[in-house]
Chain A
Amino acid sequence: TQLLEQSPQFLSIQEGENLTVYCNSSSVFSSLQWYRQEPGEGPVLLVTVVTGGEVKKLKRLTFQFGDARKDSSLHITAAQPGDTGLYLCAGEFQAGTALIFGKGTTLSVSS
């Protein structure tokens, strides 16, 4: 069974703080995606990474794909209450196969 571990599971911080969420596996991903989900809604794609060592930025969010393509991180700078939500990573272990999702990190940012 190919597992995809996310940490931390829950994170509660104050507005303006920085944070990092991790996504790890013992297997190599062919691609990895990060999604954000708000309560009662479906996940919304944030980014897809495919190349080892790749770094992508989306405003205050920075996504990094590990050199060996087994792990990824999401870093948020100066978090805002609007960043509150469930952050999911999903990996594709072989091109064309179904995504495997992590359990997610629930982020709460209070003002």
Chain B
Amino acid sequence: ETGVTQTPRHLVMGMTNKKSLKCEQHLGHNAMYWYKQSAKKPLELMFVYNFKEQTENNSVPSRFSPECPNSSHLFLHLHTLQPEDSALYLCASSRRDSTDTQYFGPGTRLTVL
């Protein structure tokens, strides 16, 4: 309904697994974002892509690897994660113009065992 979809909605993985999160936006926006939301913490911006180019990387560990093949798709590749990486991972998109109104997907609830 919001125009931003995320798959899978839930993911359980072991620390040695490799998995990917997918985000797709149908709003014609040029910027896409990955956020991490943990309990009792503010939303943490992880990565920003504008016109497929990464413009921000907020000191995210290399075990998180983003990929943006075009303005409508964004991936987050995960490998050798830690239990503390368990969180809700949210994707958002925006026009990135004078007001950066962001539209969020439903998120992927990730549990790392």
Contacts and interface: CB of A to CB of B under 8 A. Distances in A.
Interface string B46-63: 001000000010000000
A50 B48 CA distance: 23
B96 interface: yes
Contacts, number: 64
A88 B90 CA distance: 14
Contacts of B104: 35, 42-44
A103 B101 contact: no
A45 interface: yes
A45 B102 contact: yes
A82 interface: no
Nearest to A102: B42
B44 to A, nearest CB: 8
B107 A98 contact: no
B105 interface: yes
A92 interface: yes
Contact of A103 (B41, B90, B97): B41
Contact of B33 (A44, A97, A98, A104): A98
Interface secondary structure of A, over-half rule:
loop
Interface in A30-51: 30-31, 33, 35, 40-45, 48, 50
Interface in B91-113: 91-92, 96-107, 109
A24 to B, nearest CB: 14
Contacts of A43: 43, 90, 104
6 contacts: A42-B91, A44-B2, A44-B104, A92-B100, A98-B56, A103-B41
Given A42-B2, A42-B90, 10 more contacts: A31-B101, A33-B102, A42-B91, A43-B104, A44-B2, A96-B98, A97-B100, A98-B100, A101-B43, A103-B42
Nearest 4 A/B pairs, CB to CB: A42-B104, A101-B43, A31-B99, A103-B42
Interface of A: 30-31, 33, 35, 40-45, 48, 50, 88, 90, 92, 95-99, 101-104
Interface of B: 2, 4, 6, 33, 40-43, 45, 48, 56, 88, 90-92, 96-107, 109
